[in-house]
Amino acid sequence: MNLLCLSGSLRAASSSRAVLEHIAGHLPEGVTASRFDIGSLPHYNADLGAPEVVEAFKAAIEAADGLVIVTPEYNYSVPGVLKNAIDWASRPAYASVFKHKPVLVASTSGGALGGVRAQAHLKYSLNGMLARVFPWQELVVPQANQKVKDGVFSDPATEAFIGEAVAAFVESIAAGR
């Protein structure tokens, strides 16, 4: 099984990237992680047709058994770069590579709510594309910047909760095959 892991942040030292790398490094046995740099996608513009990098992104989603998306919260929502990637992959409407694709969502924030508002917006967009958003308690990392040192996420309680969710997500994908 392969999970495509996407970070909603472009910053190399972002807490979202650190949480995503923690997840990718602690997957159940037999599960691999692949990644795609959503920063390489052009701004969405239907006039561009299907640029090669967009086709590569869509192919990566199609090839994955599921996706793990970790997003920071910017102004109570998802970063523009993540929304841009979703907009590219959402075409054609209701028949995109996201249709029926299992997706696990997590969020980070420097604040006390852990990005829960961004997570709600992301899930709303994913549902609109007919993705299968994994039903689980919100995976949020509040005060995330304090839990990342030298690019490594560390918070035992949150790690345990995330690990339980990822295991259940993988199990749900395996059962749905």
Domain boundaries, the chain: 2-176
- CATH code for residues 2-176: 3.40.50.360
pLDDT of 177 above 90: no
The count of C-alpha atoms lying within 13 angstroms of the C-alpha of 135, restricted to the half-sphere facing its C-beta, is 0
pLDDT (tens digit per residue) in 63-118: 999 999 999 999 999 999 999 999 999 999 899 999 999 999 999 999 999 999 99
**Has residue 7 got a pLDDT over 80?**
yes
User: Residue 10, Cβ neighbours under 10 Å: how many?
Assistant: 14
The distance of Cα 60 from the centroid of its chain, to the nearest Å, equals 13
Give the contacts of 14 (CB within 8 A, at least 6 positions apart). 7, 72, 108
